[in-house]
Amino acid sequence: FWVKHSRTLVVELAHIDGGGEGVLLAIQRIAKDICAKKNLEEMECLVYAVSCARPNMKLRAHLVKRGFEIKNVPHKGEVFYKVFDVSGT
């Protein structure tokens, strides 16, 4: 986790053992709590699961279902990417 431009919490996930779908929900809940405590407006999520040696198709389907898109982020490469508005949390 890190804060960008004093308004966005950036969450980067590179490796999740054992599936990841449930872990993502827990991490998202914790990240939203951090956003609320720090009065942040957005949560930017980058999941490095696009070009894994052994891709988890269930995780990919879960990310797509939740609105993540594959995006080429400068200096990061291809990631599953989504920005959440958390200003009302």
pLDDT in tens, 5-16: 889 999 999 877
Tell me the C-alpha distance between 26 and 68, whole Å. 17
Q: What is the mean pLDDT of residues 66-71?
A: 96
* pTM for this prediction: 0.85
* Alpha-carbon separation of residue 4 from 1, 20, 35, 65, 78 (angstroms): 10, 25, 12, 26, 20
Looking at residue 64, its pLDDT comes to 94
Residue 19 reports pLDDT greater than 70: no
Mean pLDDT of 52-69: 88
Q: What is the pLDDT of residues 28-53, one digit of tens each?
A: 899 999 999 999 999 999 999 888 87
| Residue scoring higher pLDDT (57 or 15) | 57
